[in-house]
Amino acid sequence: MSATSPQIAYARSGDVHVAYQVVGDGPVDVVFVEGSVTNRHVMWEEPGARRFYERLGSFARLIVFDKRGMGLSDRVQIGTLEERMDDVRAVMDAVGSERAALIGESEGGPMSMLFAATYPERTVALILAGAEVKEETTDDWPWGESSREEFEESMGTLAERWSRPPRSISVLMPSRGDDPQLVGWFTRLKVQSASPAAAEAFIRMAFEIDVRHVVSAIRVPTLILHAAGDGVCHVENARFLARTIPGARYVELPGADHVMWGELSDVALAEIRELLTGVREAPDRDRVLATVVFTDIVGSTERARELGDRRWRELLEAHHAVVRRELARFGGREIDTAGDGFLAAFDGPARAIRCARAVVAGMPALGLDVRAGVHTGECEVIGEKLAGQAVHVGARVAAEAGPGEVLVSSTVRDLVAGSGIELADRGLFALKGIEGERRLFAAG
């Protein structure tokens, strides 16, 4: 392959154009979800990255892209994890890829994990390389990148630092040290990937992500690669993933380079090739990650008694029409309807919350008060139905909501970082039939 950057093409994801390239024509598709900043032309200028792309493309059809708001993609508002999953599907659809292996590197790891858990039917395998789990260092997660205080201090000087040569290149790739060629390339990559404001929005969104509660739902062949001395993402992130993702293969690499195309590219490529050329079975479709929404009418028994059977039935029909209209609007799937309650499923928590709020807001016009609960977790797929612990948790969250209120679990809170949805802490609740206490949040 030549050093010339492959042709840029665009996939339409809603109203956003996502820039992508295809490298190679191997028998398996690979979508590479890279770290924080990319620009498809500038990435191709770095010889190490280019060789890595080309070698992947020698045994696979490699698909690389710029995230929305970054690089050559539309410079729109930085997307949530949910919207970025939509972008991956759009790129796959644009190149005619039904199923692909996902490589999630660094910040690209959390979205790749969510995609694999949510869309196992479209995921051949998952490769996590230097992948983050949670960036914020807290008492229950000492392996983050910084405390919130350190993070805010860093954000205060981001704009003035953004166009300057980075001080951290020796941390990103210690094997290259202070190589002036690499420093110049990375400086150019930053400024041609995003403006300071866009970079800050993206970095803030990434800092809020926490995927600890959902990775156990991954049911596709998974390979985890991580350098033991990685100075960007602590190796305990990888060890946690190896313990938590069922059947995952973990390869702890010597050295400290954070990116795969550094000194350990030969080892990384050998492991990836072995995984992809050995995959033969379709993923297990008996379990899937989903966001469930429960709604019900507050005081329905009393209202039915007041109105009588005929008028109550008419009011229920009007209620059902409102719920189904909002489900269609926000891409929800009706799972079950029992009397005055609905169970619906979504492939993204932000859409689920917005749908629940719309349902609740539409009910006073009918003279009704509705409450709703939202939770994300691993569900059992039984025909067209969903079952399992996540469904039970969702029902119990809804039961704690007051009239006109939408309550969400802490798992949902962690996954909607950057969505603009305001959530108010309602404290700890002992949910009936659920072990331990759960922190719940009200969606404003």
Cα gap 420→350, rounded to integer Å: 9
Residues 377 and 257 reside in one and the same domain: no
Residues 164 and 215 reside in one and the same domain: yes
* 239 in a structural domain: yes
pLDDT at site 216: 95
Three-state DSSP at 395 gives: helix
Residues 115 and 90 reside in one and the same domain: yes
Residues 336 and 270 reside in one and the same domain: no
Residues 291 and 274 reside in one and the same domain: no
pLDDT at site 339: 77
Cα gap 72→189, rounded to integer Å: 12
* 3 in a structural domain: no
* 112 in a structural domain: yes
Asked if residues 380 and 309 have their Cβ atoms less than 8 Å apart, the reply is no
Residues 337 and 210 reside in one and the same domain: no
Both structure tokens of 404: 């006109």
Residue-range definition of the domain harbouring residue 411: 287-443
Locus of tokens 């030969």: 266
Q: Which of 278, 309, 335 is the last residue before a domain boundary?
A: 278
Within 13 Å of residue 120, how many CA atoms lie on the same side as its CB? Answer: 21
Rg (CA), the chain: 23
What is the DSSP track for 19-48? EEEEE---SSEEEEE--S---HHHHHHSHH
Cα gap 396→392, rounded to integer Å: 6
Three-state DSSP at 97 gives: coil
Q: Which of 278, 305, 333 is the last residue before a domain boundary?
A: 278
pLDDT at site 80: 85
Residues 164 and 291 reside in one and the same domain: no
Cα separations (Å) of 39 from 43, 65, 190, 352, 393? 6, 8, 9, 32, 42
pLDDT at site 3: 55
Residues 379 and 403 reside in one and the same domain: yes
3-state secondary structure 273-297: HHHHHHCCCCCCCCEEEEEEEEEEE
Residue 370 pairs with which residues in a beta bridge?
A: 297
pLDDT at site 1: 38
Both structure tokens of 188: 């150019």
pLDDT at site 2: 42
Q: What is the CATH number of the domain that holds 385?
A: 3.30.70.1230
Locus of tokens 């029992």: 338
Residues 439 and 406 reside in one and the same domain: yes
What is the DSSP track for 133-168? SB-B-BTTBTTSSB-HHHHHHHHTTHHHHTTSPPS-
Count how many domains the chain has. Answer: 2
Three-state DSSP at 87 gives: helix
Q: Which of 215, 245, 278 is the last residue before a domain boundary?
A: 278
The 10 Å Cβ neighbour count of residue 252 is 13
Three-state DSSP at 135 gives: coil
Cα gap 35→32, rounded to integer Å: 10
* 2 in a structural domain: no
Give the full edge-to-edge strand order of the sheet including 9-13: 9-13, 16-23, 61-65, 29-33, 100-105, 123-129, 222-227, 249-253
* 333 in a structural domain: yes
Cα gap 169→43, rounded to integer Å: 15
Asked if residues 214 and 114 have their Cβ atoms less than 8 Å apart, the reply is yes
DSSP H helices in 119-157: 148-155
pLDDT by residue for the chain (444 residues), tens only, comes to: 345 789 999 999 999 999 999 999 999 999 999 998 999 999 999 999 999 999 999 999 999 999 999 999 999 988 788 999 999 999 999 999 999 999 999 999 999 999 999 999 999 999 999 999 999 999 999 999 999 999 999 999 999 999 988 877 888 888 887 788 889 999 999 999 999 999 999 999 999 999 999 999 999 999 999 999 999 999 999 999 999 999 999 999 988 999 999 888 888 999 999 999 874 444 445 788 999 999 999 999 888 888 898 999 999 999 999 999 999 999 999 999 877 899 999 999 999 999 999 999 999 999 999 999 999 999 988 878 898 889 999 999 999 999 999 999 999 999 998 888 999 999 999 998 888 899 999 997
DSSP state at residue 215: G
Instruction: Give the dihedral sign, CA 334/396/352/112.
Output: negative
DSSP state at residue 2: -
Residues 299 and 223 reside in one and the same domain: no
Classify 144 in phi/psi space as left (phi over 0), alpha (psi -120 to 50) or beta: beta
Classify 60 in phi/psi space as left (phi over 0), alpha (psi -120 to 50) or beta: beta
Residues 320 and 214 reside in one and the same domain: no
Torsion of Cα atoms, 324 then 326 then 328 then 333, to 10°: -70
Q: What is the CATH number of the domain that holds 87?
A: 3.40.50.1820
Asked if residues 22 and 56 have their Cβ atoms less than 8 Å apart, the reply is no
